[in-house]
């Protein structure tokens, strides 16, 4: 199974479940950002992945992402859901813009 032990959820096909990573609460100059002024996070950690999409012949296309990857995604990407009390974003692998090192 390709899910972590903290959640019991498996996305279908080429979807991934992402846990948003909180942004810094201070600017580089040391100014503290209030909760109401924070932007929606655009970085996250993959916590579950699907098996991959299928091509025209029905052959499974493997996922490039894996559980634990830190990713960058669009500000309005994915659908917010709550699974076992955890807030997650469900999005297609193609919505992920890149991996963070």
Domains of the chain: 15-99 (2.30.33.40)
Q: Are 3 and 47 in contact (CB under 8 A)?
A: yes
Phi, psi of 56 (to 5 degrees): -60, -25
Q: How distant, in Å, are the alpha carbons of 11, 45, 79, 94 from that of 56?
A: 21, 30, 27, 18
Please report the pLDDT score of residue 17 as a whole number.
94
The pLDDT of residue 39: 57
Q: What is the pTM of this model?
A: 0.73
**pLDDT confidence of residue 86:** 87
Neighbouring CB atoms inside 10 A of 56's CB total 5
List per-residue pLDDT tens for the chain, 101 residues long: 444 445 578 899 999 999 988 765 555 566 666 655 455 668 999 999 999 999 999 999 999 999 999 999 988 889 999 888 889 999 999 999 999 87
């Amino acid at each position: 199974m390709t899910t972590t032990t903290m959640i019991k959820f498996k996305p279908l096909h080429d979807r991934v479940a992402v846990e948003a990573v909180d942004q810094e609460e201070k600017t580089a100059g040391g100014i503290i950002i209030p909760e109401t002024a924070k932007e929606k996070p655009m970085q996250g950690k993959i916590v579950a992945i699907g098996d991959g999409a299928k091509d025209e012949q029905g052959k499974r296309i493997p996922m490039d992402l894996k559980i634990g990857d830190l990713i960058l995604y669009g500000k309005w990407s994915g659908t917010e859901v709550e699974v076992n009390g955890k807030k997650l974003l469900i999005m297609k692998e193609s919505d992920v813009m890149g991996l963070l090192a």
